[in-house]
Amino acid sequence: MRPTIILATSNGIGMGHLARATAIGEALKDRAHPIIVSMASAVAEIPSATGIPAEYIPGRDRGLMPRQKWDRYLRDRILALVEETGATILTFDGVVPYPGVLAAKLAKPDLTLVWIRRGLWQKKPQRFVLGLQSRIMDYVVEPGDYAREYDHGPTSKRKEAKLVAPVSLYRSERALEKSAARKILGLDPDRPAVLVQLGTGDADVNHKMTAALRGLLGWKDVQVVLTKDPKDKAGNSLAPDGLDLKVVRYFPLADLLHAFDAGICAAGYNGVHELPAAGVPTVFVSNIRGTDDQETRARWCADYGCALMANQADLADIETTVRKLQNPELRKSLSDKCARFLRQLAQPKSQIFFSLFLNHIAQRK
């Protein structure tokens, strides 16, 4: 009998947690019944795109209830879903396992709790409770990171985690070739296309978006593809005049990455394990918020020649570095390096390992 496995994720910054859960869920489909529960609004994309059942749980930051009540609400939601589906394993992908997740484990001790904890942490206050949180887990699994050799953060020396290869939604055998991908996105097949995946919101983040887009000015006939409208909270455009912008929604976008001649992206776990893996010449602009050490991840990519890194604190450098992407020889050189170093690492062996591992512990119960 195939076990039911609940893959829970926090909200977080970007799509990293949810993308990993989706990749693992896809690999589990043949061996188990995966269910994704998430506080990320992008969970809305999961059921129709993947066929994996999913539930949205409003995060504590939505302010729907007093903070003190939220952990009990989360615990009760998890326990209700466990009882409804007969799930035997709960994985949690997030930096901080919420007390509500841990309380669900305590209320139902036979539920196996697995913490999927990526590395490359900055030294933030969360590190002080790492030991305590890890002890409550049945297993801790660390999805590998291309930049792991540069990881000197709080999780790098810990012993409890089982390290696996990087987890990525990009799979070369599933990704569409350029013309088919462009057709789906509605892009001109003969003009260059650049993917921009940078956040918007606070003023400094908005300025980085504007600087990056400025770097694309002058690129003849370029089509600029964004995953969200480049506007500030007041609705003012962050894009300079003269660019042909297109906002797209597609999940998983990893399947369509061959549509792009270049990318500009935050150096989150997803971006680094998808764009270079697909051979897309990329400029990484780190987002320094949260625990994720994006600066280090971006530096590793730049040191190995797989991508360019812009100084996130210097708007002029962001513009100048992005402008370099207009050079076709540089783009070819970056693509070649990606092919040589990274492509084989992004194959779904890690997802399969996860799948086998979770299935194995389910059978032991």
Partner 1 sequence: MISGATVPLHSTLSILARGPIGAAKHFAVFLLEKIGLSYRALFPHRIDTPPITGSPIFSETTDVNELRAYVRAPRRFEHLITEASERYRRKRSEIATKAYDL
Q: Which is nearer to partner 1, 130 or 306 (CB)?
A: 130
- The distance of closest approach from Cβ of residue 350 to partner 1 in the complex, given in angstroms and rounded to an integer, is 27
- The distance of closest approach from Cβ of residue 339 to partner 1 in the complex, given in angstroms and rounded to an integer, is 34
Q: Which is nearer to partner 1, 17 or 337 (CB)?
A: 17
- The rounded distance, in Å, linking the Cα atoms of 336 and 236 is 39
Vertex 262: Cα angle to 257 and 263 (nearest 5): 75
Closest CA to 111 of 96, 130, 132, 92: 92
The total of other beta-carbon atoms located within 10 Å of residue 164's CB is: 18
- The distance of closest approach from Cβ of residue 269 to partner 1 in the complex, given in angstroms and rounded to an integer, is 23
- The distance of closest approach from Cβ of residue 289 to partner 1 in the complex, given in angstroms and rounded to an integer, is 12
Under 8 Å between Cβ of 18 and 42: yes
Q: Which is nearer to partner 1, 129 or 184 (CB)?
A: 129
- The distance of closest approach from Cβ of residue 171 to partner 1 in the complex, given in angstroms and rounded to an integer, is 22
Q: Which is nearer to partner 1, 1 or 234 (CB)?
A: 234
**Chain position carrying tokens 């990525």:** 168
- The rounded distance, in Å, linking the Cα atoms of 148 and 234 is 39
Q: Which is nearer to partner 1, 5 or 212 (CB)?
A: 5
Q: Which is nearer to partner 1, 87 or 120 (CB)?
A: 87
Q: Any residues with CB less than 8 A from the CB of 252 and at least 6 apart, and which?
A: 19, 22, 49, 169
- The distance of closest approach from Cβ of residue 54 to partner 1 in the complex, given in angstroms and rounded to an integer, is 7
Q: Which is nearer to partner 1, 148 or 228 (CB)?
A: 228
- The rounded distance, in Å, linking the Cα atoms of 104 and 115 is 14
- The rounded distance, in Å, linking the Cα atoms of 236 and 231 is 5
- Chain residues binding partner 1 by CB under 8 A are 35, 41, 43-45, 47-49, 53-58, 60-65, 67-73, 75-77, 79-81, 83-85, 96, 98-99, 102-104, 106-109, 125, 129, 132-133, 135-136, 233
The total of other beta-carbon atoms located within 10 Å of residue 320's CB is: 15
- The distance of closest approach from Cβ of residue 47 to partner 1 in the complex, given in angstroms and rounded to an integer, is 4
- The rounded distance, in Å, linking the Cα atoms of 131 and 115 is 13
Q: Any residues with CB less than 8 A from the CB of 298 and at least 6 apart, and which?
A: 267, 272, 284, 285, 286, 307, 309
